[in-house]
Structure 1
Amino acid sequence: MTMSRRDVIRLAATTALTAALSTGSALATAKVRIGVLKFGTVSWELDTLKYHRFDAASGIDLDVVYFAGEDATNVALQAGEVDVIVSDWLWVSRLRSEGADLTLVPYSTAVGAIMVAQASPIRTIADLQEKKIGVAGGPLDKSWLLIQALARRDHGLDLPAANEIVFGAPPLLSQKAMQGELDAVLSFWHFCARLEANGFRRLIGAEDAAAALGAGGPVAALGYVFHDKWADENPDAAKGLVDASMQAKNLLARSDEEWLRLAPIVRADGKELETLRDRYREGIPARPIAEEEADAANLFRVLADIGSEKLVGNAPEMAPGTFWQGLADGG
């Protein structure tokens, strides 16, 4: 069939419009690859983000890549296999001091705490002397070091020297604490929340120790970590990630129904789910980036003093740029 000149023009215009729309859509949606632990708490936020398409609303397509361990995510970021991971600012600062261009956006201020049984006679840090304490995260865990620093300053108490310290995986330590084999346990925030829902109380949290040691407010323990170069080359994608994350956090902060939807992923229900929900909400960052950065720099000095080069490397101060400057002025 022979097409008229008008049909040819109409077809050409339609083809051009379709191509333009397709190109525009491609330009508007940037793929961001994020590497996270399969069963980590970050997956709760990312599931909310993807389920409600907050990534698409923020102009990105978030591709969640799961890993079995933290070391694997670190390697994947440095190898360029993913664009973003979640890690802590001490690790970012250490690598940045060694020449890497890693930087961080606050993700959560939720931190660990020392938990004791509700009926325990332990009421203060001083009461921990000559007790059996379980510690998750190893001897260089930030929460453990901050609480050590406070015990030493206020009570002249050297916790590692004055106690039997048992290092181990959080689930195992929680089990031993509930069986009465430990007098106290310092664990990650979500394990503390589960213990709290099952008859334990917080003796002191790492955020309490940080405040006593000079922090002006909650300091993010973890953040979204990426390369400066990636953010410079993909500013809309970087800011889109931050925006999508905040949309998910805002929903999780106000919607109890969303937590019920997440219950199978969180693997909790009833009082335990409610406690996890409440502690998560307390950990949503709400301070200007400059304040977070200033407090982290002060805490870095405290941690460097007690953790030495094993923790922070050779740098005496937190590396400039550890916190992403793309958010410095509300960007």
Structure 2
Amino acid sequence: MNVDSQQAAFDDHHDDPGDLPVMRARFEHNGSPRYMLYTIKRHGFDRDHGFHLDVELVSDELEGGVETVEARLQDGEADLIDIDYISTARERAEGASIVAFHPYGRTVGGLVTPEETDIEGLTDLHDYRIGVVRRVDKNWILVRAACREFHGFDPEETATSVEAGSKVALTRMLQDGEVDAILQFWPIIPEITETGPFREVFPVADLVQRLSGTDRKLPVSTFLTSETFLDERTETVRRFANAYRDAVNLLVEDDDLWEELGQRLMTYDDPNVVTAIRDGWRDMVVRDWDHETVEGMEQLFDHLLKVAGPRTLGVDQIPEGTFRPEVTIR
């Protein structure tokens, strides 16, 4: 489903903000946060908490080397996005005035191949063409780190990574046979495996847990805003966090809501696809965090840095002030 069709679903629930403070949310049209954002608008959770959430969906193309949503935030055209915290650290280290104020979830992907393939796990990646959105994508970094830590090789050296530039192009590369496997993001995988001769070999979430050395579900992606917006609109940020919790609670409990999401926001409203995305979302999402959560995220980063190195991560430390958990901790 294209950007315009999905945006129309949101516009049905966009009303006049009146005197309410406005938070401009800019999110990818094929990213999983749109389910939560739609729920907030559909059920008026933003108004319930005293603010107006203005949602605009954008493509996942790159602008000047960064994803579109990142560019919007850095250019002052957005107040709310989500990206993984490795990218947040990288951009902040390069001078971007962005901060992570609340977790979203374990938003990684999986390795997808044609059904008829000899690839069964990490040790089989040698000599294959592996499609990635870009080489600094978290899925590729995690796969490289796991291969180096557990199997003593780096697939960047023994396989061929092929950059697609977007999630849509990545799927097309697999379907057209341009690559032997892809590291696709989790919400898109059911649309591939349920509708074509493809299978998921392994989820990257398993690698996150192995590398972190903990059973605690760690968020990989967080919600971001600018330092200026956080300083000037702290209460609006807190109100979003409360609306987010309300939406998560409903999405975890209400199966009927997912049927509506399938009809309005998904390319395929096949019940099997919708159910797979629903279950994956519920397993991925993180309602809240605390300082212990942040410590775990920092430990995972340190482990990735040790295994993959600063060149692979694009940053050698998480800059001070990247995480602001005290803003939204209950």
TM-score, normalisation: structure 1: 0.80
Distance 1:99 1:129, change over 3 A: closer
Contact persistence 1:74–1:85 (CA under 8 A): yes
Q: Which residue of 2 aligns with 1:239?
A: 238
- CA positional deviation for 1:310: 6.4
Match of 1:188 in 2: 185
Aligned residue in 2 for 1:281: 282
Q: Distance in 1 between matches of 2:122 and 2:160?
A: 15
Give ranges in structure 2 of 5+ residues lacking alignment.
Answer: 1-17
Change (3 A) 1:47 1:274: same
- Which of the numbers 201, 208, 211 marks the counterpart of 2:209? 211
Which residue pairs with 1:308 in the alignment?
Answer: 310
1:33 has 2:35 as partner:
no
Q: Trace 1:151-190 onto structure 2 (pairs within 5 A).
A: 151-168=147-164, 169-178=166-175, 182-190=179-187
Structure 1 equivalent of residue 222 of structure 2: 223
How many angstroms apart in 2 are the aligned matches of 1:233 and 1:295?
Answer: 29
Alignment-derived partner of residue 317 in structure 1 = 317
Q: CA deviation at 1:147?
A: 1.0
1:33 and 1:63 in contact (8 A); partners too: yes
Residues 69-120 of structure 1, C-alpha deviation per residue, up to 9 Å, x if partnerless? Answer: 4644323323333222222212322343455542112122121111234454
Contact 2:105 2:219 in 1 (8 A): yes
Residues 38 and 225 (structure 1), Cα distance of their counterparts in 2 relative to 1, 3 Å cut = same
| CA apart distance, 1:41 | 3.0
**Equivalent-residue separation in structure 2 for 1:100 and 1:176 (angstroms):** 32
Residue 265 of structure 2 corresponds to 265
Note if contact 1:297-1:317 (Cα within 8 Å) is conserved in structure 2.
no
Residue from 50, 55, 59 that aligns with 2:46 = 55
Q: Deviations over 1:211-246 (max 9, x none)?
A: 221242333232210123422332221111011112
Amino acid at match of 2:182: V
Out of 77, 80, 83, the residue aligned to residue 87 of structure 1 is: 83
Aligned residues of 2:245 and 2:287 also touching (Cα < 8 A): no
Identity over aligned pairs, percent: 26
Shift of 1:52: 0.5
Which amino acid is 1:156 matched to? G
Task: Give the corresponding residue for 1:102.
Answer: 98
For 2:210 and 2:46, locate their aligned partners in 1 and report how far apart those are by CA, in whole Å.
38
Retained in 2: the 8 A contact 1:133–1:164? yes
- How far apart are residue 133 of structure 1 and its match? 2.3
What is the CA–CA distance in structure 2 between the aligned matches of 1:134 and 1:100, rounded to whole Å? Answer: 28
Query: Whose radius of gyration is greater, 1 or 2?
Result: 1
2-structure distance, mates of 1:224, 1:166: 29
- Listed one character per residue, the Cα deviations across residues 149-185 of structure 1 (whole Å, up to 9, x for unaligned) are 1112222222122223332243344345356664322
Aligned residues: 301
Is residue 144 from structure 1 mapped to residue 140 from structure 2 by the alignment?
yes
2:79 pairs with 1:73: no
Q: 1:175 to 1:102 in 2, by over 3 A?
A: closer
Residue number in structure 1 paired with 2:108: 111
The residue number in structure 2 matching 1:7 is none
CA contact (8 A) 1:194 1:275 kept: no
When you count helix as a share of all residues, which structure comes out higher? 1
List gaps (5 residues or longer) in structure 1: 1-24
TM-score, reference length from structure 2: 0.80
CA contact (8 A) 2:103 2:286 kept: yes
Deviates more, 1:230-239 or 1:142-151: 230-239
Query: Residue 213 of structure 1 aligns to a residue in which SS?
Result: helix
Supply the RMSD in Å over aligned alpha carbons. 2.6
SS in 1 for 2:188: helix
Q: Distance in 1 between matches of 2:294 and 2:242?
A: 20
Pair 132,72 (structure 1): closer, same or farther in 2 beyond 3 Å: closer
